[in-house]
Amino acid sequence: MAVVLRLNKRWIVVLVVILLLLITSFFVRLGPSAPAPPLPIRDVAAYWPSPLENAVCRPKIYVYEAPSTFQVPKSIQEGRCHESNYNSEIILHNQLVDPSSDFHKLYVTQNPEEADFYFIPFFGSCYLYHCWSRNEWRWDERCDVDERYVNPMMDMVINDYPYWNRTGGRTHIMIHPMDKTFTYYADNARFQPAVFLTTVGDKRLKYMDRHRYHRDIVIPSATRIVHHMGIDPMDKLTEEGHPKSGRRDIFAMFYGCCEDVQVDDEYSNGIRSLFFNHFSKYPGYALGPNLADEEYAAKLARAKYGLSPMGWTLDTTRIWEFIAFGVVPVVIADGIVEPFEFDVDWDSFIVRVRRDEVHRLDEILRGIDETTYEYKRRKLWEYGRRVGLEKDAWHFIIRELCRMEGINKPVNLGLGY
């Protein structure tokens, strides 16, 4: 009997060992296999996105000049409005009219008869920002913007030149960089035929009145630290986008409004409540209210991920600060239209997190392996940064304009990328 028991114990041990081996081999097979060899470059023209220098067309743009009788004075453009995140209208205009600018050399003509498009120097956001600053920031104040600015501008364009009427305004360009785009102006019907460059792209039905699908081009926003303060990321980063000293030791960062957001608030759809009540306590997270500019820039140079939740609108200027400093943006804004989506592979250098998954934010970000993170960071640094206002925004805008007008005349711009 004792011999039988010993034999049974031996068989039990053998079976357990065999079972453990089978289980181990099963889980080993489920792990990732060695990567296959990368595919060779076959036909660049068949890839997306295509190199930026391979333009859809190279149109000519005529820039109207508005008289000082109604144009926002230079002192205000370069003063109060320079600090505004709505300053993209003036930045893009100045790039066109600056004779030393590559965009001026490539696209601008002084002969309106040969122009394909016409740029209206409409600085409505500057007019209103200055108005609000002088009226205790009452956002519903308009300071007679239609009578003093909109109508004189459109009278000039429509009545003093023949080009608006030739196409019904379809080839004219205006910039509306504020949250509510063109709806600030009671007489906006006068300029509706034009192409609008807007910083807000939104697919949600609730805001269809602000967005003209397939007639608006979504553009980058201006940012305080880059475009107003003039802080240069390259003072803190190497040519490869790494910190000049130390490493990116902040796992995720967010500094901004508002610490008292509740879960059911309209502002940010409650998303930011999780930031201040929960994520701020997580190890590796740097979250809080707004910081002084230099301190903020120093933290940007140390961060791996930058959290970009919606606020009152889906877009935030924060994403452009992250991009400029090589911080991989985490976009939490369901339904957003990012700038130049036909030509920019946003998903190669950002992380998207939906609102119904944002409570799992840390789990999602920690689940990104270092190889994938580095791929996104490198794509961001080598490619994503070019989207910004201070880089190649006009080249991307031109591609969209060419498609809108059905102009398919490929040309190499000689950019080298």
Residue 85 reports pLDDT greater than 60: yes
Phi, psi at residue 200, to the nearest 5°? Answer: -120, 120
Could you read off the pLDDT of 45-56 as tens digits, one per residue?
Answer: 888 999 999 999
Residue 64 reports pLDDT greater than 60: yes
- Reading phi first (left if > 0) and then psi (alpha if -120 to 50, else beta), residue 145 is in alpha
Average pLDDT score, the chain: 92
Q: CA-to-CA distance for 202 and 179, rounded, in angstroms?
A: 11
DSSP-assigned states of every residue in 27-45: HHHHSPPPPPPPPPP--GG
Compute the average pLDDT of residues 391-397: 97
Provide, rounded to the nearest whole percent, the portion of the chain with pLDDT above 90.
Answer: 84
Asked whether the beta carbons of 145 and 123 are under 8 A apart, the reply is no
Asked whether the beta carbons of 335 and 202 are under 8 A apart, the reply is yes
Could you read off the pLDDT of 222-237 as tens digits, one per residue?
Answer: 999 999 999 999 999 9
Residue 316 reports pLDDT greater than 60: yes
More confident residue, 403 or 20: 403
Q: Residue type at 44?
A: V
pLDDT at 3: 45
Residue 27 reports pLDDT greater than 80: no
Q: CA-to-CA distance for 322 and 300, rounded, in angstroms?
A: 7
Confidence of residue 12 (pLDDT cuts 50, 70, 90): low
Which residues 6+ apart lie within 8 Å of 52 measured at CB? 343, 386, 392, 395, 396, 413, 415, 417
Confidence of residue 5 (pLDDT cuts 50, 70, 90): very low
Question: Among 31-40, 314-323, 379-388, whose mean pLDDT is lowest?
Answer: 31-40
